[in-house]
Each structure stands twice: as C-alpha cells, then as structure tokens.
C-alpha cells in the first residue's frame, strides 16, 4: 500500500475538479483521497512515495487507436490525399512492417509511457506486434484486424484471422485484452465482417472500425462514385459499395464499438450513445482526410468523442500531449481554456468509458493508473491549458498501482 501527494491534482471527473495539496492511498486501486496528514495517520504502514514540490497528478492517458506495426514509417508513406496514402500503404506495408522488429515496438511503447500513456488500443494488421505488446507493462487492448473484399478468399482470410486470434487469446490477462477490428466498410466484405463480429459477440469483446475517414470513402459509400469506383474498375466491370452507411452501422448494433475518424459522418443519430464512441485522430485527418471532425457538432450529439493518435503511418508522434496540442490549434471555435479541459477528459475519462475500463479518473475504487508531471506555479484557471502546452515527459507513471520503469 502506498501514499502519494501532489500540489495539484486533475481528477478528470465530469466537472474537471482540481485539488490542491491532496494525497491518495492506493494499491492496485485508489483506496482513499484526502489530506496527507490524515492519510498518514490512518494508514501508518503505507509507503510514502516522494514527488517534487511542484507536482501534478492526473489519470494516465488512454490512446485507443495505434498501429505499432507501422512504427518505422518516416518519409515512406505518401500524405495529402487519402487515396494516394492508401495506394502507398498497399504497395509498401509488407516492407514497412518487416522493418519493425520487437525492439522498435518495445521502444515505441516505452516512449508512449514516458509521455503519460498507460493504455492503448492497438490495431494489429499482421500479428507481428503480439509478443512485444503482451510482454510490455502497457495495458493493451489488442484489436486483431480483419479485412478483405474478394469473397473467393474468405475461407483463407478467416483461417488466417483465427490463427492470430487464438495466439492473442493465449496472452489474455488484466493488462492484455484481446479484441477485434473490422478494418472499414470499403475494405471488408459482409461475410468477413459478420464472422468477426459474431466472434466478438461470443467472447464479449470490444470492436473497432475505421469509418467515414475521407472524401473518397464518403463518395463511394453514399454515391457509389469517386476514386474508389475508378480504382475498383481495374478489377471488376461495375463495382458497387459493400454497404450503405446505415447497413454498416447496423452490423454493430448492441455491441461496444469504437468508430475511428467519422470526419464525414452526418448521421450521428444512427450510433448508440451507450455503446458506440468516436475516436478522433486530428493529426492523421490533417495528413490524409483534408477535413477535420466538426468537434462541437459531434460533442453536441451526446456521443462519446475521445482522442487517439492513429499510427505513425499517419502521424509523427504517439504522444497524447502532442495530439492535444494539435487539437488546440485546429478547433478554433472553442474558448481555449474550456477546450483544454475538454481535451484532457477526451484523453482520460472518455476513452475509459468507451472501452468500458474502470480507470480514466482519480476516484476511490478506480484502477491506480496515473501519471506525475512537474509543473510550474500557475493559476488553476490557466493550468489545464498551460499543462497541455508545456508538458513533455512524466516524472512517474503507475499502471495498476505499479511504477513503470523505462
Ligand atoms: O487510420 C489510418 C487510416 N485509415 C485506415 N487504415 C490505417 C490507418 N493507419 C494504418 N492503417 C492500416 C490499416 O489497419 O493500413 C492498412 C490497414 O491494415 C490499410 S488497408 C490496406
Ligand atoms: Fe487507423
């Protein structure tokens, strides 16, 4: 049992409460929050953890959408237009992923922890990230990805997917949670999608999917036209989209699902406020989608909207702090200090709710996943914003009550 104190604490509750000169007792979970003198008297055997004088404690960040297998990308994939990017991924992904050895994935996970992240949602395209993720102290929701348009290859695709799925299941524990990703409505045919979704249902697993990310995808799904049509004509005489918008969403009815991007989604009412959430990847959208999510409108819909970085395949950093800074710059229709608080909740409380994890906020009974940062003297009204602007690396990070060494 431990006691830790700090001059400031962001509880990351709905009200965005900030406590001053408070402490808490924890083992794997937070047991009690109070003034340090009271806690020391009540828990005389608890070990005191030293922090620097100007310390801030907040819940560790949750990044629900990464692609670690693409971590070697720099100067390789093409940016500026989704279709150009997609073509570069299709031709280069094999080579790119072969460059990514276990060591690079471990280093990338360490770097994410250093920037305050305790939990990631890893979209695994090939399964080459499995061991490094399972053995790391990071909490990983491991989404095995399925995709394929050609029905004649379905049997082969299912067998290959099941092999990756079983391998992941063998590592299942508190910090490694297998899940399933249906890549997207333009890349995954109905039979494969249904197959993977029923597996998720059977094992009560989380689902994730890329959805309405680009103009090309929007035109294809809504008007059966655009670049997808031109490209697919090379393979079939009269190509048709695999789903209507509502048909695709319907597949995920009653199932906890993260819909990533949704830049072109207008039909927010089709998503389920209790089970469906939107992962907003602002930097990735700038590189690939030529459009940003209308955040104000999306939040007004009442859906859970949270942040993710996407992979280094469409970002230059997997730090949630960098991603928050990007969000500060692009969402100009918000008052800056109010946006800063919202973004911190979108990196903690909201993704925790979307993933149904008992963390993301500092409260009694919640998992002890938290970070300690050094800050400077600052008024509480400015602190959330100033923290996002200045913070780079943690002093300490705890996952399930255990301090991470990196
Ligand atoms: O989120 C971005 C952009 N949208 C779609 N897919 C990916 C992203 N980053 C990596 N990917 C992966 C995806 O998981 O690229 C492949 C899939 O394996 C594209 S489909 C050939
Ligand atoms: Fe992605």
Whether 327 and 282 have beta carbons less than 8 Å apart is answered as yes
Q: Note the pLDDT of residue 217.
A: 97
SS (H, E, C) the chain: CEEEEEEEEECCCCCCCEEEEEEEEECCEEEEEECHHHHHHHCCCCEEECCCCCEEEEECEEEEEECHHHCCCCCCCCCCCHHHHHHHHHHHHHHHHHHCCHHHHHHHHHHHHHCCEEEEEEEECCCCCHHHHHHCCCEEEEEEEECECCHHHHHHHHHHHHHHHHHHHCCCECCEEEEEEECCCCCECHHHHHHHHHHHHHCCCCEEEEECCCHHHHHHHHHCCCHHHHHHCCCCCCCCCCCCHHHHHHCCCCCCEEEEECCCCCCHHHCCCCCEEEEECHHHHHHHCCCCCCHHHHHHCCCEEEECCCCCCCCCCCCHHHHHHHHHHHCCCCCHHHHHHHHHHCCCHHHHHHCCCCCCCCCCCCECCEEEEECCCCCCCCHHHHHHHHCCCCCEEEECCEECCC
Distance CA 91, CA 206 (A): 30
Which of 406, 405, 404, 374 lies closest to 53, judged by CA?
Answer: 374
Q: Which residue, by CA, sits nearest to atom 14 of ligand 1?
A: 125
Q: Note the pLDDT of residue 236.
A: 85
Query: What is the CA(115)–ligand 2 centre distance, in A?
Result: 20
69 C-beta closer than 6 A to ligand 1: no
- What residues does 3 pair with on adjacent strands? 25, 48
Neighbours of 237 (CB within 10 A): 6
Query: What is the CA(223)–ligand 1 centre distance, in A?
Result: 23
Query: What is the CA(311)–ligand 2 centre distance, in A?
Result: 6
Q: Candidates 210, 259, 293, 316: which one to mutate for ligand 1, based on the most atoms within 8 Å of Cβ? A: 210
Which of 164, 176, 151, 251 lies closest to 207, judged by CA?
Answer: 251
Distance CA 404, CA 25 (A): 18
Q: Note the pLDDT of residue 351.
A: 99
Q: What is the mean pLDDT of each run of 10 residues along the chain (406 residues)?
A: 98 98 98 98 98 97 98 96 95 90 96 98 97 98 97 97 98 98 98 98 98 97 96 88 98 98 98 98 96 97 98 98 98 98 99 98 98 98 98 98 95
CA angle 373, 378, 394 (to 5 degrees): 10
Catalytic residue among 69, 122, 213, 227: 213
Strands 402-403 and 276-280: unpaired
Q: Which residue, by CA, sits nearest to atom 16 of ligand 1?
A: 89
Query: What is the CA(284)–ligand 1 centre distance, in A?
Result: 11
Helices 320-330 + 336-345 axis angle, to 10: 140
Q: Note the pLDDT of residue 283.
A: 98
280 C-beta closer than 6 A to ligand 1: no
Q: Which residue, by CA, sits nearest to atom 1 of ligand 1?
A: 310
209 C-beta closer than 6 A to ligand 1: no
Distance CA 70, CA 99 (A): 9
Ligand closest to CA 63 = 2
Tell me, yes or no, if 374 is annotated catalytic: no
Distance CA 153, CA 137 (A): 37
Q: Which residue, by CA, sits nearest to atom 17 of ligand 1?
A: 125
Q: How far is CA 302 from CA 128, 209, 305, 324, 350, in A?
A: 37, 20, 9, 21, 12
277's tokens? 């959430």
Distance CA 81, CA 83 (A): 6
Which of 180, 78, 183 lies closest to 121, judged by CA?
Answer: 180
- Sign of the alpha-carbon torsion through 341, 331, 78, 264: positive
Distance CA 383, CA 372 (A): 15
282 C-beta closer than 6 A to ligand 1: no
125 C-beta closer than 6 A to ligand 1: yes
Q: Candidates 72, 164, 182, 313: which one to mutate for ligand 1, based on the most atoms within 8 Å of Cβ? A: 313
217 C-beta closer than 6 A to ligand 1: no
363's tokens? 């409260």
Q: Note the pLDDT of residue 383.
A: 98
Q: Note the pLDDT of residue 232.
A: 87
pTM tops 0.85: yes
Query: What is the CA(207)–ligand 2 centre distance, in A?
Result: 13
């Amino acid at each position: 049992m431990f006691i830790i104190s700090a001059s400031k604490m962001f509880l990351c509750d709905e009200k965005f409460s900030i406590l001053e000169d408070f402490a808490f007792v924890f083992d794997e979970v937070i047991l009690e929050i109070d003034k340090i003198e009271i806690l020391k008297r009540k828990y005389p055997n608890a070990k005191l953890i030293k922090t620097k004088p100007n310390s801030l404690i907040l819940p560790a960040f949750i990044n629900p959408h990464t692609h670690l297998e693409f971590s070697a990308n720099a100067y390789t994939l093409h940016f500026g237009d989704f279709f150009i990017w997609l073509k570069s991924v299709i031709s280069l992904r094999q080579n790119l992923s072969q460059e990514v050895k276990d060591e690079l994935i471990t280093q990338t996970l360490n770097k994410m922890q250093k920037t305050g992240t305790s939990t990631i949602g890893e979209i695994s395209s090939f399964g080459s990230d499995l061991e490094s993720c399972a053995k790391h102290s990071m909490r990983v929701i491991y989404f095995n990805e399925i995709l394929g348009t050609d029905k004649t290859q379905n049997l082969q695709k299912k067998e290959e997917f099941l092999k990756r799925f079983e391998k992941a299941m063998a590592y299942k524990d508190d910090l490694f949670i297998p899940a399933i990703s249906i890549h997207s409505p333009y890349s995954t045919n109905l039979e494969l999608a249904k197959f993977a979704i029923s597996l998720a249902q059977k094992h009560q697993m989380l689902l994730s999917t890329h959805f309405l990310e680009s103009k090309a995808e929007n035109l294809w799904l809504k008007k059966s036209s655009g670049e997808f049509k031109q490209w697919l004509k090379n393979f079939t005489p009269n190509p048709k989209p695999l789903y209507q918008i509502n048909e695709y969403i319907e597949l995920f009815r009653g199932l906890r699902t993260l819909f990533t991007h949704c830049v072109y989604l207008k039909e927010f009412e089709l998503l389920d406020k209790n089970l469906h959430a939107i992962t907003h990847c602002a930097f990735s959208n700038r590189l690939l989608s030529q459009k940003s999510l209308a955040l104000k409108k999306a939040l007004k819909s009442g859906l859970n909207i949270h942040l993710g970085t996407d992979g280094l395949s469409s970002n230059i950093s997997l730090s949630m702090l960098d991603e928050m800074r990007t969000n500060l710059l692009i969402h100009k229709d918000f008052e800056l200090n109010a946006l800063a608080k919202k973004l911190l909740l979108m990196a903690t409380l909201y993704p925790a709710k979307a993933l149904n994890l008992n963390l993301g906020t500092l409260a009694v009974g919640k998992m002890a996943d938290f970070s300690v940062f050094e800050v400077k003297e600052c008024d509480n009204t400015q602190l959330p914003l100033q923290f996002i602007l200045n913070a780079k690396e943690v002093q300490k990070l705890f996952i399930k009550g255990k301090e991470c060494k990196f």
